[in-house]
A and B are shown apart, each in its own frame.
Chain A
Amino acid sequence: EIVLTQSPVTLSLSPGERATLSCRASQSISSFLAWYQQKPGQAPRLLIYDASSRATGIPSRFSGSGSGTDFTLTISSLVPVDFAVYYCQHRNTWPPLFTFGPGTKVDI
């Protein structure tokens, strides 16, 4: 079973700063990784899939990178609406099994 670890647990930044979030897999997962954003009281939203592809309508300040076991979500310049919890997620192709990381909270 693949385990995802996210760091840091909390990232305290200011608007305009760059945010770098890490997700590490317990074994190689190729590029089968996604990132989601969740704001309080809202459902998650898909940001990045296949490690580096932005989902429809996601601003270009969000970018993903990595493969194998180490992945990064970068927010180039934070705006107030970006303060949220971010989860990484792995998908095993077959059988379909899915794992989420514990999340990183980005706050002011």
Chain B
Amino acid sequence: QVQLVESGGGVVQPGKSLRLSCAAPRFAFSDYAMYWVRQAPGKGLEWVAFISYDGNNKFYADSVKGRFTISRDSSNATLFLHLNSLRAEDTALYYCARDFGRRYTTFYFGSWGQGTLVTVSS
């Protein structure tokens, strides 16, 4: 069973920053592309960010471009999402997800963590 464990969520004021982490200690982390996907309370799923297996390619949804940064630390098998200039509409459960394919990127979300909740409120 793939284990992805997110952390770092919490309550933050608008305009502030937060860093989310996703620990992935039990699989060949460096072989997989990774993603962040979020879900606002009671709403559907929204892709947020993508990072290639080697970290050289990063892409973002238009709604977060310029404010969020995805990164990875392969030596510690950890994925990060830096959230800056937070807005109320960023309030959501943030999931990290692993690509379905190993060593080849399928661009499907094969395994998911349980999520970490970010609440942006004054």
Residues of chain A having any CB pair with chain B under 8 Å: 32, 34, 36, 38, 42-46, 49, 55, 87, 89, 91-93, 95-103
Whether B59 pairs with A46 at a CB distance below 8 angstroms is no
> How many residue pairs, one in A and one in B, have C-beta atoms under 8 Å apart?
58
B71 nearest CB across to chain A (Å): 16
Secondary structure class of chain A's binding surface, majority of residues: strand
The complex places the Cα of A45 from the Cα of B107 at a distance, in Å, of 15
B74 vs chain A, min Cβ distance (A) = 19
Query: Which one of A34, A44, A55 lies within 8 Å of B112 (CB-CB)?
Result: A44
* Other-chain contact of A87, B45, B106, B111 (Cβ < 8 Å): B45
User: A46 contacts B109, CB within 8 Å?
Assistant: yes
- Nearest neighbor of A95 in chain B, beta-carbon distance: B59
Query: What's the Cα separation between A101 and B46 when bound, in Å?
Result: 9
Q: Which residue of A lies closest to B58 (CB)?
A: A96
A38 CA to B95 CA, complexed, in Å: 13
Q: How far is the CA of A92 from the CA of B108 in the complex (A)?
A: 10
Given A36-B109, A44-B112, A89-B109, A97 contacting B45 (CB threshold 8 A): no
Shortest C-beta distance, B12 to chain A (Å), equals: 23
CA distance A46 to B44 in the complex (A): 15
| B95-122 contact mask (Cβ, 8 Å, vs A): 1 or 0 | 1000010000011111111110000000
